[in-house]
Structure 1
Amino acid sequence: MAGLEKNYFARGNTAAGLYTLYDSVLKGLDTVFVINGRTGSGTSELLNELAEAWRQTDWTKHYIHDALDQERLEGIILEEARIGIIDGNAWSADPVLEGTEIRILDARQTQREELLEEAEIGTKQQELEIGTLYQNAYDTFLITLRIHDEWEKFYIDHLDRETANRITSEFADHYLIPVRSKKASITRRFLGAATWQGAVDYVPNLTADLRTRIFVKGRPGSGKSTMFKKLAKEAEARGIDTEIYHCGFDPNSLDMLIFPELSLAIFDSTAPHEHFPVREGDSILDVYELAIQPGTDEAYADEIAGIRARYTSSMKKSIGFLTEAKRIRDEVWEAYDAATDQAALKALAVDIIRQVEALTNTSTLANE
């Protein structure tokens, strides 16, 4: 039977700039293959080839998506095999992980050298334009976040902190029961990202196999992220493994916690990642109803409507910069794609599969 498939992001286009959690995502793996070199869409195609080759294996596959374009992959992790395959352009120029073997693969071998040189020279100006567009997006995301801060203040000022703390403590005491005494493992990821198409999230996929899912409803500033931070700290103190999912817009904020040993998730289920209970084990925790002074929405309806409109407009402007960056990047990648030897790309994929087979004593390509 094919293993589980998990989808998420390791990087985000955020109000704090391009923010990466790769060091946490890859921590604890035995081997990481790093694909270095400019290949246009080639690395994503290679990763798709690998994903398809391992589709029916019983490993849990982690698919790490490109924060600009979620349709493209920039990494795969084979959980039980403790192996990762990562686009070196997405991680770092000099990757280091304590206790992990790093195997560097040169993707230039898949390129026709003379065409590669033409692509590198011909796309210099476009690369500069892409960099400027990203910076414009990040600057506008920061402006958008400051507008969001204005929105939050209405609810922060009317938050019953004693009730909010009680909700957090009661949740911890009811749900965070250690399975056994040990040191907790903490992993940080992004459940969603601000892509060229707007906000995208993988909450349904990441929580699909969990027994209990708590959908937290509320308003900006109603204490959701603060509650998650306190619960994450409490879980670590109790030795409970925790997957911490940061907000793809503001990485200093948390959007979801998953406790795999407890088959439990608690997550911010408001826009732009709004979801609703659909099965047994799902429930809603509405912190607005429980901890915000009644009538707050009504008392400040006009002011909040104005802020919401400014926030939406600013966010749309930010996404517009990413859309243009994606358009130009596609043009750049077309130039590199033209330099790619598809047979060599497939040969590199086969080489990675063979190395993984040797590491895991498996035979994905046994019949080839």
Structure 2
Amino acid sequence: MAGMEKHYFGRGNTAAGLYTLYDSILGGLDTVFVINGQTGPGTSRILGELADAWKNTDWTKHYIHEPLDHERLEGIILEEARIGIIDGNAWSPDPVLEGTEIRIIDAAQTLRKELQEEAEALAAAREPEIAALYAKAYDSFSNTLRIHDDWEKIYIDHLDREKANSIAADFALNYLRPISAKKADITRRFLGAATWRGAVDYVPNLTESVRTRIFVKGRPGSGKSTMFKKIAKEAEIRGINTEIYHCGFDPASLDMLVFPELSLAIFDSTAPHEHFPSREGDSILDMYELAIEKGTDEAYAEQIPVVSSRYKYSMKNSISILAEVKKFRDEVWDAYGAAIDSKSLRRVADQIIHQVEILTNTSATL
């Protein structure tokens, strides 16, 4: 039977700029293959070949998606094998992980030299435009966050902090029961991202295997992220392994905690990643009902629609800029794609597969 699949993001186009969590995601692995070289869509295609080759294996596969275009991969982790494969352009030009063997794979060998120069010339010409658009997008996301802060303030000013703190304490008391005395393993990821198409999240996939799912509802500023931070800290104190998922818009905020040992997940289930209970073991925790002063929505009935509209307009503008980025990048990637030699690309994938076979004493076929 094929192993479980997990989908998430390692980076995000955020209000804090391009933000990465790869050092946490790749930490603790025995071996990381870093695919280097400017090849446009080449690395994504190599990762796609690897995903197909390992599709029916028993390993738990982590598929790490690209934040601009979630339909492309920029990394794979084979959990039980403790092996990662990562696009060097997405992670670091000088990768260093304590206790991890780094194996560099040259993807530039997949390019036909006669077309490579044309692609590189186009990339050099488009690079300033793409960089300027990214900077513009990040400025727009930052402005959007300031608007969101205005929205949050309405509810923060009417938050019962004592009640909010007691909710976090009650959760820890009722759910965070340590299995054994040990140091907690903490991993940080993004459950979603602001892509050129808009917000994309993998909450259903990341929580499908847990028995207990708590859907946290509430308004902006109703204490959800603060509660998650308190719970995460308490879990760490108790030695409970925790997957911490940061907000793909504001990485300083948290959107979800998963505790694999407890088969438990608690997550912000409001827009843009709004989900609803659908099975046994699901429940709702409504922070607005529990911790916000009654009648707040009614008291600010005129202001709330205005700030909400400003926020949505600004977010839509931010996403439209990312769509412009993709348009220019696709032009460059099409040039690189034309330069890729498919047989050479297959050989690079085979090379990685062969090395993984040796490391794990297994076999896979393309």
What is the TM-score with the length of structure 1 in the denominator? 0.99
What aligned pairs does 1:32-111 form with structure 2 within 5 A after superposition? 32-111=32-111
Gaps of 5+ in 1: none
Matched letter for residue 318 of structure 1: S
Give the aligned length: 366
Distance 1:157 1:39 in 2: 51
Q: SS where residue 306 of structure 2 aligns?
A: helix
Residue 301 of structure 1 aligns to a residue whose secondary structure is coil
- Matched AA of 1:217: K
Query: Partner of 1:84: helix, strand, or coil?
Result: strand
In the TM superposition, what is the alpha-carbon distance from 1:318 to its structure 2 partner? 0.3
Structure 2 residue 286 is matched with structure 1 residue 263: no
Separation in structure 2 between the aligned mates of residue 122 and residue 69 of structure 1, nearest angstrom: 21
Residue type of the partner of 1:136?
K
Q: Is the aligned partner of 1:352 residue 2:342?
A: no
Tell me how far 1:125 sits from its aligned partner.
2.1
Q: CA deviation at 1:121?
A: 1.3
1:226 matched to 2:195? The reply is no
Alignment-derived partner of residue 148 in structure 2:
148
Deviations 1:95-131 (A, max 9, x none): 0000000000111111112311221112322121111
Aligned residue number for residue 27 of structure 1: 27
CA distance in 1, matches of 2:301, 2:7: 37
Give % identity: 74
Partners of 1:155 and 1:85 lie apart in 2 by 43
Structure 2, unpaired ranges of 5+: none
SS at match of 1:166: helix
Q: Secondary structure at the match of 2:45?
A: helix
Q: Which runs of 4+ in 1 moved over 3 A?
A: none
| Counterpart in the other structure of 1:216 | 216
Letter of the 1:163 counterpart = K
Hey, what's the Cα distance between the residues in 2 that align with 1:245 and 1:203?
Answer: 10
Q: Distance in 2 between matches of 1:296 and 1:323?
A: 37
Give the AA of the match of 1:286.
D
Whichever residue aligns with residue 8 of structure 1, its letter is: Y
- For 2:121, the equivalent position in structure 1 comes to 121
- Partner residue of 2:292? 292
**2:135 corresponds to:** 135
Residue matched to 1:330: 330
Q: Secondary structure at the match of 1:219?
A: coil
Q: Distance in 1 between matches of 2:258 and 2:123?
A: 42
State the Cα distance separating 1:94 from its structure 2 match: 0.2
Scaled by the length of structure 2, the TM-score of the pair is 0.99
SS at match of 1:147: helix
Whole-angstrom distance in 2 between the partners of 1:355 and 1:167: 49
AA aligned to 1:218 is G
> What is the RMSD computed on CA atoms of the aligned residues?
0.7
